[in-house]
Structures are given as structure tokens and as C-alpha cells.
Amino acid sequence: MVASAAVAEAPRRVVSVNLCTDQLAMMLAAPGQLVSVSHLASEPQTSAMVEEARAYPANMGQAEQVFLMRPDLVLAGTFTARASVDLLRRLGVEVIELPPATTLDDVAGHLRIVGRALGREAEAEELAAEFEAGLDRLRIEAPPARAAMYYPSGYTTGSGTLADSVLRHTGFSNIAAELGLDGGGNLPLERLVMAQPEVIVTSTPYPGASRAEEILVHPALKAVQDRAGSAEVTDADWICGTPHVLRAVRGMAEAREALAALRLTMLDGAR
């Protein structure tokens, strides 16, 4: 069950077992209210709040470990391990599950859900209003330029995703959505090349080397990037529906403005 109703009395001991609820809880919890966040909150490649997470004991999301922390509220995601969530509920622990954000509108909504759960409605409303104002300032009203998200193993995101919402807000159409992809999936490099994107958005490489990332240095992809534009992004800004996604929005807005300037330069040169 995804709960959105307010908890009758503000919980005193809150544990988060999901990367995205970790960050929302760290933003909103009263001092001493949040007692643990998931271990993913300390991973620089996925978390936008690594420094803040170091102030909290980390958990692995296991029901036994979480129960021993004596929480009166657990924040989880709808994709959190079902066995852990179900066992905690059978043990009498209140669990609120938050679905993944699939649009920018979800960010303010999720702030308000977690704010109500923590008894921090006023703080949540303030953050939501700031986020919505930031979004309004970064909206690009222009004919859409064609962009493609391209990650290790050729992974991409299509319609119905937070990344797609970021692209559309900043004046881009999403090639994966054009090709009929709903959600996430793999896009063969050949199809990407044939689609002729104007901008390719890819992730910052992980430390070390992996075969999954080899496709990102393929000569065919480099040729497309040289002809088009390329934006290297930090995954942590795109994964969760929190106010930190504004950094992703700002980066894509700047990329769209740079592309518009390039088009004008090319037009002037052709005259």
C-alpha cells in the first residue's frame, strides 16, 4: 500500500530503507527524528546527499536489522524488497512506501507526502514551493531539439520517466520515447546513430573499468557526439525525485540554450 495520509502523531524514530526516501527524510526530518538511512545514501555515484548521510547509521534494508532500531515509522520505496516490508508490517511497524518519481510534478508531491508522514508539513511546503519556483525559472519554451539518454550497456530511458520529464521541460524531445520505449531499456547503438540526435546525454564514468561502459567510447558513438552535442551528467542528480533534480534541469537548460546559440551561428554563417 502506498500511504499518503498523515500520521496521527509525529514519529520519533524514523528509518529509511530506500535511496530516494533517504534524501527526502534527511531534508525534512526534525533533529533526532531520523535514526538511519540506507547504505546507498553514502554512494557518491547514486546519492546527491553523501555528506549529509554520513551523520546517520547506515542500514542494508533487512527487516531484522531495521526492527532492532525500534522505529515507529519506516520509509520505503514500492520496489523495496517485499519480504522486508511485509515482515516489518507483520511485526507492527508502520511502513510508508513511496513510488518512483516519473515526472517533475512528482517531486513536490513526494515532499508533501514525506512531510505529512514526519509531521513536518510546513517544512515540506516551503521546500516544495522553492522547487516549483526553480522549475518555472528553468523552463525552456522553444521548438524541441532531439536528445538521447545513453548509458552503460546501451541503457536509455523513454516516456514515463523522470529523465524524460527533465528533457521535455528544457526544450528537448526524447529519441527513446520517439522510438516507442516506455520506461527504461536498451537502445542498440545502430538505432541511436540512425536517429541522429542533436545532443547525447551520458553518465559520468564509474571508477575503474567495466565492459558495460565500453560502448560509451565506441567510435560510432564518438562520431555522433562530435557531430552533435554531448552532455556528461552526474547520475545522482537524475535518479531520485528530490529538489536535487534541479541541477539536472539546469544542466539541460544550459545545453538547450547552447544548442540554440550554435544554430544561430550556423545560420549566420550560411548567409
Domains along the chain? Answer: 14-135 (3.40.50.1980), 142-270 (3.40.50.1980)
Q: What is the pLDDT of residues 63-98, one digit of tens each?
A: 999 999 999 999 999 998 899 999 999 999 999 999
Tell me the torsion sign for CA atoms 270, 228, 179, 159. negative
Residue type, 211: R
pLDDT number for residue 209? 67
Tell me: pLDDT of 114 over 60. Answer: yes
The lowest-confidence range among 38-42, 70-74, 100-104, 235-239 is: 235-239
- Percent of the chain exceeding pLDDT 70 equals 92
Burial 35-72, CB ≥16 within 10 A → b, else e: bbbbbbbbeeebbbbeebbeebeebebebeebbeeebe
Tell me: pLDDT of 5 over 50. Answer: no
pLDDT number for residue 226? 84
Q: What is the pLDDT of residues 171-226, one digit of tens each?
A: 999 999 999 999 999 999 999 999 999 999 988 777 766 788 889 889 999 888 88
DSSP-H helix ranges across the chain: 19-28, 50-53, 63-67, 82-90, 105-118, 121-138, 162-169, 175-178, 189-195, 219-227, 236-239, 245-270
What global pTM score does this model have?
0.90
